[in-house]
Amino acid sequence: MTERGLLIVLSGPSGVGKGTVRKAIFESEGNEFEYSISMTTRKKRIGEIEGVDYFFRTREEFEELIAAGEMLEYAEYVGNYYGTPLSYVQKTLDEGKDVFLEIEVQGAQQVKEKVPDGVFIFLTPPDLVELRSRITGRGTDAPDVIDERMRVAREEIEMMALYDYAVVNDQVPLAVTRIKDIIVSEHFRVERVIGKYRKMLEEL
């Protein structure tokens, strides 16, 4: 009996450094999870490689996959689609391997609905830790500027509520270690292992 792998989702507000942290994780040693490459309709940038950075597809191709129910999640962002093809994720989880996604918050919400037992990690901007000074600034900012900062902070905090973990991206190597520790620890959660033991007993 192969145990199903864990689905690990890294997300967070745009600009928080999800891509940088994800790259640092996959450049580090001792990872026992596979990276699920995203699909996009945006133009390939110089240096980017098909099937490494992204799967590059036309808008028509992408919309066909959506219609066929073959996207685990997708979102439109600045006029382009970004998403996760379902087939690779399913196959890899079925083989008992963990899959790591780094996606936008809209997409993470879709995954949460489809795979509630995934591990959802929210990357937090470092200055969310110093909310007060970030929002009130130097005390000379206009009330509407402060209000807008309040709104953004409130939005980020409420986004966080959908996740299992919040990791501060204060220093990339620290964020990497925290995320890798979380992934290891999640394998020891009772709800993930007890079924295996119960099944073994029943089968005796």
Does 145 contact its own copies by CB under 8 A?
no
- The 62-101 site mask, x for binding its own copies (CB under 8 A), equals ----------------------------------------
Interior angle at CA 102, CA 117 and CA 149, nearest 5: 100
Let me know: does 187 contact 6? Beta carbons within 8 Å.
Answer: yes
Does 24 contact its own copies by CB under 8 A?
no
Q: Which is nearer to its own copies, 27 or 191 (CB)?
A: 191
Residue 9 buriedness (CB in 10 A; 0-12 / 13-18 / 19+): buried
- The 165-204 site mask, x for binding its own copies (CB under 8 A), equals xxx----------x--xx-xxx-xxx--xx--xx-xx-xx
Q: Which is nearer to its own copies, 9 or 135 (CB)?
A: 135
Separation CA 175–CA 90 (nearest Å): 27
Does 57 contact its own copies by CB under 8 A?
no
Residues 6+ apart with CB under 8 A from 64: none
Cα 8 to Cα 2, 117, 131, 148: the distances in Å are: 18, 10, 28, 32
- Segment contacting its own copies (CB under 8 A): 3-11, 59-67, 91-99, 154-162? 154-162
Residues 6+ apart with CB under 8 A from 16: 123, 124, 125, 169
Does 160 contact its own copies by CB under 8 A?
yes
Q: Which is nearer to its own copies, 43 or 188 (CB)?
A: 188
Separation CA 48–CA 37 (nearest Å): 13
Locate 185 and state its tokens. 């620890």
Q: Which is nearer to its own copies, 45 or 132 (CB)?
A: 132
Binding-site entries for ATP: 12-19
Where do contacts with its own copies occur on this chain (CB under 8 A)? 122, 128, 131-132, 135-136, 150, 153-154, 157, 160-161, 163-167, 178, 181-182, 184-186, 188-190, 193-194, 197-198, 200-201, 203-204
